[in-house]
Amino acid sequence: MVATRYKTAFKLYPYEKVAAQDAAPVRHPVVIVGGGPIGLALALDLGQKGTPALVLDDHDGAGLGSKAICFAKRTLDIANRLGASQPMVDKGVVWNVGKVFHDDHKVFDFNLQPEDGHRNPAFINLQQPYFEKYLVDAIHTAQAAGAPVELRGRNCVTAMEQHGSYSTLTVETPDGPYQLEADYLIACDGARSPLREMMGLSFDGRVFEDNFLIADVHMKADFPTERWFWFEPPFKNSGQSALLHKQPDDIWRIDFQLGWDIDREKEMDPDRIRARVDAMLSSQAGEVPEYELEWTSIYTFQCRRMEKFRHGNVIFAGDSAHQVSPFGARGANSGVQDADNLAWKLDLVLKGLADDSLLDTYATEREHAADENILNSSRATDFMTPKSELSKTFRNAVLELANKHAFARPLVNSGRLSVPCDYTGFALFGADTLLGGPDISKPGMPCPDAPHGDGFILDHLGGGFILLALGCEAQNVSAHGVGAQALNIMAPSDALKARYLGNTAQAVYLIRPDQHVVARWNNFVADDVTAALATAIGKG
Amino acid sequence: MSMLILTPNLPDPDGFYEELIRAHEGLTKEQSDAFNARLILTLANHIGDREVLRQAFEAAK
Ligand SMILES: Cc1cc2nc3c(=O)[nH]c(=O)nc-3n(C[C@H](O)[C@H](O)[C@H](O)COP(=O)(O)OP(=O)(O)OC[C@H]3O[C@@H](n4cnc5c(N)ncnc54)[C@H](O)[C@@H]3O)c2cc1C
C-alpha cells in the first residue's frame, strides 16, 4: 500500500499500472524521486533536451496547503526557458509596495518599482500547487512533442541500494512493490528526504526556536495588493511579528510569529486562530471583514544543508539538500536553480559529451548557493527574532531610526528576496576580459534580461551554449563535440547596451545553457572562445 | 585603506564628554541603552567604512 501523507490540491499524475511492474527491473538513465517543484522542473528540462527522465512520487499531485507563495524573477525566467512561465505570471499576483510597521505605527513603506525592459516582474505571489500544476502542464505539452519524460504517481520509494555505477530502488504502488534501476538517482524528495535517511546521511544546521502560525484566509476585502509586515504588532496575541500578503483567488497569507514555548494543539484551535485574525484585520479595516479560514498550520523553521549534494550516482536537489526559513522566499526559488544547474550537466554526461566529473561542479556551485541562501535567511530570522536583550535593543533602535531617517531603512530586515547566485571564481568560468563591462553580466552571473526585437534577450539564451556578439560578429564554435551557437546582434537595444556593454562599444559573451555567463571578451577570437567552452564543460 | 583615528581628535574633550552624559539625563537604564544603540547606528552610518568600523570594534574591546 502507499500511504497518503497529505491531501492534494490537484491530481496531476494519477496512478497507472505500467508493464515494468511485472517484469525484471528496468534500467533508467535518470530517476527523479519526488514530483515537487524541483523534481518537475528538472524532469521538464531534461525531457526537452531529449534525455529520458522518470519521476516517481508517492502522491498523485500537488500537496494542498500553505507552502511557497513568493516566486522570484529568476525562477520565472527559468520557467520561461522551459515554456511554463506564462500561466504563472497570468495567474500570479504582482506586487510592488511593502509597508513595515512597528507596534501601532508605520516605520516606512517601499516601492520596488521594477526596472523596465524585463519580461518578468521581480516576483509574483502564487500558491505552490499552481506552480507545480503549470510545470506538469508544460511536461504534458513536451511529452506530446516527444519529450521522453514519464511521471509515475503513487509510486513510493521504500528502499534503495547503491551499487558502483547504478542504484536499485524498491517502489511501493497500489498494485504492490516492484524494482527498478537508475544510472543517476536524483533525490528531490523534500526536506524529510527518505533517500537521505536510507543512505544514513546527516542534515545539519540551525533550528530557530520559534513557531509560526500560518493562516491562508479567503476574503473579498479591498486591502491594497501590498506586503504588510509588523514587528511587535499591536493587535492582541499576535506574537513577535506578523505578515499579511495577497495571493490569487482572493486568498491572503497571514503569518503570526508565536514564539517557542507554545501549546501547538491549543494554538491550532480554529476559534483561537480566528480571534487572532479578527484582531489583525479589524486593526486595519476598522471592523472584521467576512472571511473563511482556508488552511492553517504551525511551522518551526530551520536553516541547514547536507555537507555534500553528491554521493556517487545519487544527487540531492531542492529541500532534500538544503532547507531555509521562508523569510526571503529562498526554498523553492533556490531549488529551481538547482534543477537549472543540474539539467544541462546531466544531459551532457548522459550523451557522452562530458565526463561524469562535470556533475561534481553541480554540487560545488549549488552548495555555495545554499550557503548564501542560508546566510541571508538566518540574518533575516535573527533580525525578526532577536536572540538576546541586546540584539533586541539594536533591532528596535533600527526600527525607530528608520521611521525618521532614510539611512536606517536598509538595515530593516523582514526577509531579503531571493536573488540568483553569482558563481564568480568557480572552475567552469573564464576570465572577465571586457574592460568597462557591467558587473551585472560579468562571468558567473545569470544573464540580465533586456528587450530584443519583438521580445526579450533571455528568449534567445539557454538551452545550449550561446555565443552572444553585440556590435560585432562571432561564429559558431565547438569543443569536444559541444557546440556554441553564435547570436550576432549588430544594433543592440539601449537596455542591451547598458546591461551588457557598459562603457564599451562591442562584446562577445559565452553563455551556459542555464543562462549564466561563462566568459566575455572585447571581440571574437575563436581559440579563446573554444578554450572557454572546453573549460565550461569540465574539459579545460 | 582608511585607518581608525586613535589619537586625540575631538576639540574640547571636556565639553564633548559633558554633552554626552547630558544626553542621557533623565533616561531610565532601558532608555539609555536604546539611545546608545541609536547613537552607534547613526555614527556607524556616518563613518560608512566597514574597515574602519571593524577596527573600532577591535579598539573598543
Ligand atoms: C510556510 C512555508 C512557506 C514557504 N514559502 C516559500 C516561498 O514563498 N517561496 C519559496 O521559494 N519557497 C517557499 N517555501 C519552501 C518551498 O515550499 C520548498 O522549498 C519547496 O516545496 C521544495 O521543493 P522540493 O521539490 O525540493 O520538495 P517538496 O515540495 O517537498 O517535494 C517533495 C516530493 O517528494 C515526494 N516524496 C517524498 N518521499 C517520497 C518517496 N519515498 N517516494 C516518492 N516520492 C516521495 C513528496 O510527496 C513530494 O511530492 C515555503 C515553505 C513553507 C513551509
Q: Is the CB of A67 under 6 A from ligand 1?
A: yes
Please compute the mean of the pLDDT values over residues A7-35 and round it to a whole number: 96
Which of A97-101, A131-135, A471-475 is least confident?
A97-101
Contacts with A, B 3-22, CB within 8 Å: none
**Mean residue pLDDT across chain A:** 94
All cell numbers assigned to A443: 562571468
- Cell 556590435 sits on residue: A471
Residue A408: list chain B partners with CB under 8 A: 41, 45
Find the angle CA(A15)-CA(A140)-CA(A12) to the nearest 5 degrees. Answer: 35
Q: Report chain B's C-alpha Rg in angstroms.
A: 13
Provide residues of A within 8 Å CB-CB of chain B.
Answer: 390, 393-394, 396-398, 400-401, 405, 407-408, 411
Which fold is adopted by the domain A439-536? Glutaredoxin (3.40.30)
Contact predicate A183/A28, CB 8 Å:
yes
- The minimal CB distance from B34 to the residues A393, A408, A411 is found for A393
Q: Return the domain boundaries, chain A.
A: 28-93+114-204+303-372, 209-300, 384-411, 439-536
Residue A458 has pLDDT above 80, yes or no: yes
Pairing of strands A26-33, A53-56: parallel
Please compute the mean of the pLDDT values over residues A278-296 and round it to a whole number: 89
All cell numbers assigned to A499: 546591461
The burial of A86, by beta-carbon neighbours within 10 Å (0-12 exposed, 13-18 middle, 19 or more buried), is given as: middle
Pairing of strands A97-102, A227-231: parallel
Residue A44 has pLDDT above 90, yes or no: yes
Residue B28 has pLDDT above 90, yes or no: yes
- Cell 533600527 sits on residue: A398
Report the alpha-carbon distance of residue A492 to residue A496 in Å, rounded. 6
Q: Is the CB of A157 under 6 A from ligand 1?
A: yes
Residue A418 has a pLDDT of 81
Residue A95 has pLDDT above 90, yes or no: no
Report the alpha-carbon distance of residue A353 to residue A176 in Å, rounded. 38
DSSP H stretches of helix in A20-95: 37-48, 73-81, 85-91
All cell numbers assigned to A332: 523553492
Q: What is the pTM of this model?
A: 0.95
Using left for φ > 0, alpha for ψ between -120 and 50, and beta otherwise, residue A73 falls in alpha
Residue A206 has a pLDDT of 82
Please compute the mean of the pLDDT values over residues A216-238 and round it to a whole number: 87
> Residue A208: which of A175, A246, A165, A257 has the closest Cα?
A257
Residue A301 has a pLDDT of 85
Residue A530 has pLDDT above 80, yes or no: yes
Please compute the mean of the pLDDT values over residues A185-208 and round it to a whole number: 94
Residue A387 has a pLDDT of 87
Which fold is adopted by the domain A28-93+114-204+303-372? FAD/NAD(P)-binding domain (3.50.50)
A360-412 pLDDT, tens per residue?
Answer: 999 999 999 999 999 998 899 889 888 899 999 999 999 999 999 999 999 99
Please compute the mean of the pLDDT values over residues B4-22 and round it to a whole number: 97
Contact predicate A84/A135, CB 8 Å:
yes
Which fold is adopted by the domain A209-300? D-Amino Acid Oxidase; Chain A, domain 2 (3.30.9)
Report the alpha-carbon distance of residue A396 to residue A386 in Å, rounded. 10
Residue A237 has a pLDDT of 75
Q: Do B41 and A393 touch (CB under 8 A)?
A: no
